[in-house]
Amino acid sequence: MNIEVLKSKIHRVRITQSELHYVGSITIDQDLLDASNLIEGEKVQVVNINNGERLETYVITGERGSGMICLNGPAARLAQVGDIVIIISYAHMDFEEAKVFKPTVIFPDANNKLPL
């Protein structure tokens, strides 16, 4: 049996930009992607702390060290610059494997930077 479990989470980052007239997705600073074990093109769920919106989209790599979290396309209507979001990805795996799997969870600071 396969189940879906938490794979990666970027906990509480601030939306820095939104681009309504873009193909779609969420752009995330490369440093945050590396630390959270996310890759470009990966499906993510974005949960907005400020308004309760939840959406699914895919990752685009942002400039390393920029702190960028940018909602693109229609998703830009679901958050405003300054909103706090949680970015989550899930993985399908065997039930027994899932019992011992450890997700990657990161806690960036108020500027979307990793603590030193």
pLDDT in tens, 22-51: 988 999 999 999 999 999 999 999 999 999
Domains, the chain, in order of start with CATH, read 2-106 (2.40.40.20)
Model pLDDT, residue 24: 80
CA–CA dist 42, 27 (Å, integer) = 11
Per the prediction, the chain carries an average pLDDT of 97
Percentages (nearest 5) of helix, strand, coil residues in the chain: 15, 45, 35
Q: Based on the residue annotation, tell me whether 90 is a catalytic residue of this protein.
A: no
Tokens 């405003």 — which residue? 80
Backbone angles phi, psi at 70, to 5 degrees: -125, 120
pLDDT of residue 4: 98
Catalytic hit among 8, 18, 25, 89: 25
For 68-90, how does the pLDDT look when each residue is reduced to its tens digit (9 = 90+)?
Answer: 999 999 999 999 999 999 999 99
Indicate if 58 belongs to the active site. yes
What is the model's pLDDT at position 18? 96
